Amino acid sequence: MTYFQQLLIISPLVFLAGFIDSIAGGGGLISLPAYLMAGVPPHTALGTNKLSSSIGMVFSTGAYLREGYVYKPLIPISIVGALIGSWIGAQSVLLLDEQILRWIMVITIPVITLLIIFKKDLLVPETREVNRVREQIIAAIVALTIGWYDGFFGPGAGTFLMLAFVGILKLDAVTACGNTKVVNFCSNIAALVVFIMAGTVNYALALPAAVFGIFGNILGAKLTIKNGAKIIKPIMIVVVLILMLTVLRDIFNVI
């Protein structure tokens, strides 16, 4: 496959991934397979995808920050928790079988999907009684847990983080998106440094693809800020369904 053919496959899918990721997380479910479809070796695909997605995420994160859709008191503890959880999760791979987690997700993802579809007030802002100590503890537990999942398994971590910010910490949907982007961006940068040091980034593919990812992220963030839950909910349903298909594919590939 020629370089031009690779870009023809990767670029539109990275645009779509950036668009979806800026709204509901889970863009990696689209962009990583795009690199693999283009014939990029798995380890290089991981590093290359991480660079292009991180560059695109700068712009969606910036959009949420500029518009004030980030609840800043939760950011430091969420970032620290996610990074620690991710490190623990990566270590857990050596001790636990990913297949167990896949089967658990086959059971839980349909429940999450039905919850998103039928719980009409899921993404509707609630009146929050702010207890800073309590919300910091909850945010730390949430970030550690989802960070562990991200390090151990990964797909859809941003979507789960956003659902936790809305469902448990009671942020409005757009602010939950903003907080998710900030936390995800920081964890992505930490992983990207590892990939760069390992030499598993194809810059010739990552940088042109990142341009398309930037436009996707900007468009998605603007639509989210303008439309809120009306656009977040359907995109989130699409993401969890893609995640379900991904998990089923992995299970039956192994089996």
- What is the b/e burial string over 185-216, where b = at least 16 CB atoms within 10 angstroms of the residue's CB? bbbbeebbeebeeeebbbeebbebbbebbbeb
Residue 106 has what pLDDT? 78
What's the N-to-C CA distance of the chain in angstroms? 30
pLDDT in tens, 155-208: 788 888 888 998 888 888 899 999 999 998 888 888 888 889 889 899 999 999
Higher pLDDT, 101 or 57: 57
pLDDT in tens, 107-164: 777 877 777 777 666 666 556 666 888 999 999 999 999 888 887 767 788 888 888 9
Share of the chain above pLDDT 70, in %: 92
C-alpha span between 58 and 48 (Å, rounded): 16
Using DSSP's 3-state secondary structure scheme, residue 177 falls into: helix
- For helices 28-37 and 229-254, what crossing angle results, to 10°? 50
What's the predicted TM-score (pTM) here? 0.85
What average pLDDT does this structure show over 34-46?
90
For residue 31, is pLDDT > 50?
A: yes
C-alpha span between 184 and 61 (Å, rounded): 9
Residue 170 has what pLDDT? 87
State the CB neighbour count (10 A cutoff) for residue 94: 6
Longest dimension (CA), the chain: 57
Rounded (5°) CA angle 22-27-30? 145
- Give one word for 154, left, alpha or beta, with left for phi > 0 and alpha for psi -120 to 50: left
Residue 192 has what pLDDT? 85
What average pLDDT does this structure show over 5-27?
93
Q: H or E segment at 169?
A: none
Provide the mean pLDDT of the chain.
86
Q: Which amino acid belongs to residue 150?
A: D
Q: What is the DSSP letter of 72?
A: G
For residue 255, is pLDDT > 80?
A: no
For residue 243, is pLDDT > 60?
A: yes
